[in-house]
Chains A and B, each alone.
Chain A
Amino acid sequence: MNKIELVNIAKAYEKGTPVIEHLNLNIKEGSFTVLVGPSGCGKSTILRIIAGLEKETSGDVLIEGKNVSDIAPGDRQIAMVFQNYALYPTMTVRENIEFGLKNIKMPKAERQAKIAEISKLVDLEPYLSRKPHQLSGGQRQRVALARAIVKNPSVFLMDEPLSNLDAKLRSQIRTDLIELYRKLKTTFVYVTHDQVEAMSMATDIILLDKGKIQHRGSPADIYENPSNVFTARFIGSPPMNILSVEAIDLEDRMDKESDLIGKEPISISSIGPHHARYVGFRPEHSRIAKRCPEMNDLSINELFLEGIVQSREMLGDHVLYKVKTKYGEVYVKSFQLNMVDYGACHVVLNPKDLMFFDGNQNRIETDEERCYT
């Protein structure tokens, strides 16, 4: 069942081009939906439209099937965690959490019981009488969460709630949020520009660019089957290597000895669909070899790409290489920890890991058995 539906939403600010045009989007009941995209893609605007903080220029917002376009933010059964937490600086932690309850005239005894319960849940008990400026970033974050949870909303909206925290705390709160989501069993809508946050927490990812949905699906789906070049390059770290097929084939035709060869010289277009314009592979799906691998070393269908190691980063469990090839720079994530020296090398690929995209950068879905066998 859909919890939130956006129907034909458009949003334009007074001057300038529209941020969002004709957006249709639905968020499933009980899902942890992450809206992810580069800055300026309209993800925060969408969240603010759902919250009612921003008025849509046209279209309808439905929450539980009910049009809420004319309903005040406070009456939409939602709670929001802001990027900078938006705690009331003049109030103590307790007053911050209590503010929303006071405004709906909840009796004092009930209020206190709720605050006690919530502050225990988020470990804020010792800090209830402190002011926000006396708290650390992580504690403030928890106050913002408590303020949202205490209202018992049916939807949680979160606008980049982790971006003001340091990396360590961020990963810790990420797991806390997953636990919280499992405990509360309500709908979460989460906005971020960080694909790691999206991948780690979401049940549903909606990838946006320039106000348009680029891909939506589960984290596994978006990683394995990106529907276009943008998605392929946005998800995964480092991003997917994308090379122009034309450049490769052009080179191919010029001298018969192709660089991307198997046991026999082959051209990319003979592996992929004929209308493919771009070919991509993930850094973690490639290997690096110092010398041109002996034909015997290659497993049956492997291809290789000649290049020069530009940089290498030892990252503990893997080594990241930047390799300059004739067709552009590619990244190789190698789990073999004995590092390959700078200089000439070969990037080894398996053709089944290649993804093809057409001239509009959209994915060409190929059968499991590619033309090349």
Chain B
Amino acid sequence: MNLVQSFVWSLKMAWRDSRTYRRKLLFFTLAIVLGTAALVAINSLKENLTQSVLRESKSLLGADLLIESSEPFQPEAEQILDSLKQAEEKYAEEVSFSSMVLSPISGKTRLAQVRALEGDFPFYGEMETEPAMAKSKLSEGRFALVDEGLLVYFNTKIGDSLKVGKLSFLIAGKLKEIPGEAALQTFVGPRVYIPKSQLANTGLIQRGSRTKHKVFLKLNNPEETQAIVSSLEPQFDLSLTRFITPEDRQQSLGKAIENLYRFLNLTGFIALLLGSIGIASAVNVYVKQKLDTIATIRCLGTKSWQTLVIYLTQAMAMGVIGTLAGALLGIGVQFLLPALLSDLLPINVDIYLSPLSILQAVAISLGITLNFALLPLISVRRISPLRALRTNFEENAHMENDPLRWLIYGLIALGICTFSVFQINSPGLDWWYGLIFPGAVGVALGLLALITLGFILGLKRYFPNSASYVWRQGLSNLFRPNNQTVVLILTIGLGTFFITTLYFTQDSILKQVNVADKNGQPNLILYDIQPDQKQGVENLLAENGLGVMQSVPIVTMRFAKVKDMDVRALRKDSTNNNAYFWEYRTTYRDTLTATEKILRGKLHQGMKGNEAMVEVSLATLLADQLNLKLGDTLTFDVQGLLLAAKVTSIRQLNFSRIQPNFSILFPTGVLEEAPQFYAMVTRTKDSKESALIQKSLIEAFPNVSSIDLELILQTLDGVLSKITLVIRFMAGFSIITGFIVLAGAILTSRYQRIRESVLLRSLGAVRSQVMQIMVIEYFFLGIISAVIGVGLSLLSSWALTEFIFNSPFVINVLPVFVSILLVVSLTIGIGLLISRGAHNRSPLEILRLEAT
């Protein structure tokens, strides 16, 4: 028999040998279906998104060029802009800022993002409104376009009025979609468009007001955009002005899409890894069941490579079927994802099939699955034909020393690391950042495996011998050979870990803000109070029985130099951190508030005027972003005046309380004479009182903005819910995979369970006892997975909230118990569903059925 004939025979034998196992094998393929589906969907979506961004690049900006300044343009700049407006095809202007708006009908107030617009913006793409032509009303007088969410919040409708500053506007329509903007923005700051011609009359623009001034241009020759920008840049103060082209917007959106894609892809990859572990485990048991057959065909003259081909072919078939089914499902999911992500994406995504993306995902999935399946499969090469003579023959003694096994371990590790490094690959990031993901998954898996093995060892050592029979039998089933207890706990535990981490983190952040409402802490913050309004606001609060808990002076400024680097020069490189260019609201004091803590250095103690440099304290977040250390020098541009300073302390801030926090803190004796305004914090009895005082404030001081705890909670909840919905959807792939692996593992040992059950029943056990034994086994599988998964997720949620969100971790006990209960119930439910019939059919009937 030549090589080709041997190979063909092995394929034929693989087909024949899979008989009676095909249904089971097909079931195991389900384990990789979801992981593959996730990868296919995400890969395709990325391609669709990238193409959509390319296609809609101009409508992302709505213009060929946007000139944006954080301060009103200087007269010289205005002159240049005027000549541009005349020379080019079209222009529009917008001034935007945050301000309170009031609904006279409902009496409710809300901090909104007011945009005073003049001109026919956008030039590309459509501002979708209801009614469709509502936008044209903006040029006709005191009309406003309002975000749909704000109308719902105010309980008002089109045709009602809305007060912005001192003016009332008629709501002409609701905003449905603005090109280049994600709907999620409405949660943070609902948008209100008013005519720019009415802006001055609102009385909202005061000294120190944080405004953005934009000029949108439609150029005669859009292909010359870059040349125009190059000619304009030297004529503008680049520390204040930015020139944004569709390509810039496309680039920054591309980055955001890349990040989203990486994150989603990693979650999909986790599901695939879990499924692959499940496949490896199923193949391991399958091979064990096939030992006699393998030994027999070895006796009859099959070579070792032929036996490997036979079982590898079966595993490959599983992999191919699973991957193809996954690809089909993934294509379906691809059509679902844009709906889930719609609020996060600033563009409409056209969904179409991307063969290359699908092929890429399928290749990754197939590669990973096959490597995992190979691990147990390579042992078939070493199965001795002697086993056909002696069924108790042990040949596994040298399996661990098989160099091929270590090669496959290496390939799997290399595959995962390469995938991850490829995913994280980004300019400015070292390649080894990509190893954090496999490292973290490895640590989580290692911990789960260690705890599980520890539990099994402990159970064996301290076995409750005095417990009733059903308990003893149920517990000892956990370490029954081929039971795959560790794999089951790994998959279900890891799925639980991912899902609950997301939930606990979100819950903790929200709960922390809720806690802030207690203990007499402030729950309403007012800002943009001009010096001449300070007394009036204090009086108004006092008239309403409210005290001022804190009154903070605020001075706005920018960086002119950071560690001797000119910020204007830094502006030319778009990869530089935006924190260099922000406008900062700073304050001055020589003490710490209750929410601040010095991490490094020493807090300044008032300036006497004879010091060489002003000492400043930075928040950790800012220091980390700009890589600033103690002793670094900074030059601030305080509204035209340059001020040199030195970093002398780094503070940690706690953002969980309602009070103004400052990234930059100055000592007393420096900024007192600088133009400033104030922020105040107070505490209202309840949300009704809060609403009333906000209404009085907006009527008396329209430019004063306020934000209360309820609004923060609503905003946080809205934003987090939208983001976590996507994450949970993806994490769902992992947990469902976990349960498929559980079902597969139970299915694998079904015959063993049935035989045990039959034996027990032959020995006199009643059906209820057999049932109880199964429930006990599944209960322990569920409870161990759930407790370890939830335990690890509490740890990771703590780390996330403490170190990423800088907020103390608050445990909500109820969800912890509900999560555990849910996982245990699902495990028992699925276990009993798959084992159904094992405990209540005639022993003889079952033995005959299973034997066939």
Q: Are both chains from one complex?
A: no
Q: Tell me the B residues contacting A by CB distance below 8 Å.
A: none
Q: Which residues of A come within 8 Å of B, CB atoms?
A: none
